[in-house]
Amino acid sequence: MRKDSNGIYKVGAARKSWYCLSLRSMFRSIRPLSSALPISPLSCLIAACRTRATPPGRYFCLSRRQLHVVARVYHPRPNSRPRDNHSQGLLREQRPAWSLTCLRHRPFANLRQQRHVSTAAEFTMANTTEKLAALRKLMKEHNVDIYKFITGFTGSAGWALITEDKAALSTDGRYFNQAAQQLDDNWVLLKQGMPDVPTWSDWVAEQAAGGKTVGVDASLVTFASAKSLEKKIQKKGGKELVAMTANLIDQVWGQTRPKRPSEPVIILDKKFAGKDFPEKLEDVRKVLQKQKSHGVVLSGLDEIMWLFNIRVFFCYAVVTPTKATLYINPSQVTEELKQHLGSHVEIADYEPYLASIAALSESTVDENASEPQKFLFPSNASWALAKAIGEKRLEEARSPVTTAKAVKNETELEGMRNCHIRDGVALIEYFAWLEEQLLTGVALDEVDASDKLEAFRKAKENFVGLSFGTISSTGANAAVIHYHPERPTCSKIDPAAIYLCDSGAQYYDGTTDTTRTLHFGTPTDMETKSYTLVLKGNIALARTVFPKGISGYQLDCIARQFLWAQGLDYRHGTGHGVGSFLNVHEGPQGIGTRIQLSEVALELGNVLSNEPGYYEDGKFGIRIENIFFVVPAKTEHKFDETKPFWGFETVTMVPMCRKLVDTKLLTPDELAYINAYHAEVWEKTSPLLSHDERALKWLKRETAPY
């Protein structure tokens, strides 16, 4: 069984069998071309299931922990996630080990990370009785099916756990509401993080009790996760965790499996990247030299693309002190790519990458070396890669490329500033248009609206595609945190209800992700109160000054404090990293309550989102999201010359919704902040709106001083 970071488990025994499918965010995304994501459920599984025939008494487990793709098994899309675990999405939440990118319809048009996607305004409950019966029969024959097809649940994060007589879905707080509506009576919902609810891995370990062997597709599970799961299995009395080498899903899918995307490689010019890739290679080699490492294995697609200044799907790379190798599909190798990489990078065939990496590892062993020659091995790389290199030759550590990529250079930062102004103009044009349509009685559904927004963005300079599927949600749909409208189940936009729009785009000079919540009628007192509390949190975080060494884990409560004071909260992180024409959800930096974030101090040049929210199931949802950079702060004093103070620079240029602001709840300083922000929005976007009187009028009204 392969389990990279996308979690899919399948277990099948001759007499008793269970199947565990996992979609965990990642991420949101991949969708970049991660996280986070950061993979379609379908591809996930497919990639996940490589195993040989499972002998009687053995269990087969497929695991994938971060599905961020849009393809559906029963309705595959042109660019559904490839089976290779490693297709890491360019755009992703906090990038999980393998995030799939979601390019739909045109080459790199949507370097996107599908942060998630619920597909209906009113979710329909699928009858899975026959599907489960058929699956259990196939499981006995060592066949498998797809996650969404089996459960009826369309969220991007979760684990489907199926035994011979039980079925359970484990997911996080973003999807409790959605899953409860979509699961039928065959399923038990395991709410992650709630008291006395087991994690999916604990459940798997319990099922393995009694000396059973669990098999996993090693290319789909991270090395770290495999070791952790194996310990749990053995602790509960299971026999062992076995790395399988064949993928049953691929065998079952057969000829009906969509072809893997093979879009042409994009070469990113230095005017956008800010640095030539040979310089980046030398920086990586300096880290290898400092850590006395023999090389580093790169399985994160976003890492590889950033390092070589390219944008492409499906590749691996290895960098040693003297050599760099890119494993890529030969059909994607053009003369332009060869000229770009030159003599700095050797190009090798993608398909036999594991065998090639194993041969490289064996050929570099120096039996006379005084100490073991180790390869730096990222914690989110697959178990299959670990086995190919040799587990004894691994030094588990964060990839130096991940760290370097997260710190944007001045060219990338300036590109992010510029693309956010253009993107802000597109959103202003859109909101002005939408308001006019709704108030003049035009009936629009959520898809009509999101399509129009994409049209506004397409007209902007350097536009490549969406960075993730637009969350266009009216009324109660806005309470579904990662909602995504699809016909025929989407809703008509109600001008008398909250409208939440979370969207973003990929431009050659940067990646955007903006959420605005609006109301076109008369909001309720609770809606204005909630919006203002969320706004206060957004402002407080944006104005925070902090010393070097502080993590996003420590800052998270600043954005929640006003909601907490009222006994309110939200079930998602406050901020994720953002790539430059890469993952819309990027790690390792982030702002949230996940303990892992406490290990990552924020750095100058980090780009993050600032997105507190509040949601009432069945009623409304509110989120305000800006993108900001970590920058030096101007302080009156300098307490410690070795420990400077930093702050944030907000680059999103879209006004807040005046109708939803209760000024009585704002302090004079907060009002001054909003006025200053709106003045900046007007100054930077109004010159680009001279062609659109409607948008200019809307902008002038929304940015008027309080």
In a shared domain, residues 245 and 347 = no
How many domains in the chain? 3
Q: Specify the amino acid at residue 326.
A: L
Of residues 218 and 141, more confidence is placed in 218
In a shared domain, residues 495 and 448 = yes
In a shared domain, residues 428 and 385 = no
pLDDT of residue 666: 98
Q: Which of 351, 371, 405 is the last residue of a domain?
A: 405
Query: Is the pLDDT score of 112 beyond 50?
Result: no
In a shared domain, residues 226 and 296 = no
Give whole-number Cα distances, 166 to 127, 431, 662, in Å.
15, 47, 50
What is the average pLDDT across 461-490?
Answer: 94
pLDDT of residue 503: 97
Q: Is residue 365 part of a domain?
A: yes
Q: Which of 370, 405, 440 is the last residue of a domain?
A: 405
Query: Is the pLDDT score of 249 beyond 70?
Result: no
What percentage of residues in the chain have a pLDDT greater than 70?
75
Q: Is residue 36 part of a domain?
A: no
Q: Is residue 86 part of a domain?
A: no
In a shared domain, residues 15 and 151 = yes
Q: Is residue 354 part of a domain?
A: yes
CATH number of the CATH domain containing 371: 3.40.350.10
pLDDT confidence tier of residue 241, bands split at 50, 70 and 90: confident
The parent domain of residue 228 ranges over 6-24+45-70+127-256
pLDDT of residue 479: 95
Q: Is residue 104 part of a domain?
A: no
Which span out of 31-45, 81-95, 327-341 was modeled with the highest average pLDDT? Answer: 327-341
In a shared domain, residues 401 and 425 = no
In a shared domain, residues 286 and 245 = no
Which span out of 226-235, 364-373, 424-433 was modeled with the highest average pLDDT? Answer: 424-433
Q: pLDDT for 499-539, tens place per residue? A: 999 999 999 999 999 999 999 999 999 999 999 999 999 99
Of residues 52 and 162, more confidence is placed in 162
Of residues 366 and 386, more confidence is placed in 386
Helices (H), 209-348: 223-235, 248-253, 270-273, 277-290, 301-308, 335-341
Q: Which of 405, 437, 452 is the last residue of a domain?
A: 405
Q: pLDDT for 20-65, tens place per residue? A: 333 332 222 223 333 332 322 222 222 222 222 222 222 222 222 2
- Assign 3-class secondary structure to 313-359: CCEEEEECCCCEEEEECHHHCCHHHHHHHHHHCEEEECCCHHHHHHH
Query: Is the pLDDT score of 366 beyond 50?
Result: yes
202's tokens: 């604990």
pLDDT confidence tier of residue 371, bands split at 50, 70 and 90: low
Q: Is residue 106 part of a domain?
A: no
Q: What's the whole-model pTM score?
A: 0.79
pLDDT of residue 59: 28
Nearest-angstrom CA–CA distance, 452 and 444: 11
pLDDT of residue 248: 54
Comparing CA positions, the residue from 264, 369, 281 lying closest to residue 318 is: 281
Q: Is residue 565 part of a domain?
A: yes
Which of 28-32, 141-145, 369-373 bottoms out in mean pLDDT, i.e. has the lowest? Answer: 28-32
pLDDT of residue 391: 86
pLDDT of residue 392: 86
Q: Is residue 14 part of a domain?
A: yes
3-state secondary structure of 308: helix
pLDDT confidence tier of residue 315, bands split at 50, 70 and 90: very high
What is the average pLDDT across 173-196?
Answer: 81
Q: Is the dihedral of CA 477, 674, 28, 106 positive or negative?
A: positive
On average, the pLDDT of the chain sits at 79
CATH number of the CATH domain containing 588: 3.90.230.10
Contacts of 502 (CB under 8 A, 6+ apart): 470, 471, 513, 514, 515, 623, 625
In a shared domain, residues 464 and 370 = no
In a shared domain, residues 572 and 504 = yes
Residue with tokens 């489907």: 160
Q: Specify the amino acid at residue 290.
A: K
In a shared domain, residues 63 and 188 = yes
First to last CA, the chain: 59
Of residues 14 and 629, more confidence is placed in 629
What percentage of residues in the chain have a pLDDT greater than 90?
55
User: H or E stretch including 47?
Assistant: helix 41-48
3-state secondary structure of 562: helix
322's tokens: 């003297």
User: H or E stretch including 423?
Assistant: helix 410-439
In a shared domain, residues 196 and 345 = no
- Assign 3-class secondary structure to 464-517: EEECCCCEEEEHHHHHCCCECCCCCCCCECCCCCEEEEEECEEECCEECCEEEE
Q: pLDDT for 392-433, tens place per residue? A: 888 888 999 999 999 999 999 999 999 999 999 999 999 999
In a shared domain, residues 576 and 683 = yes
pLDDT of residue 131: 59
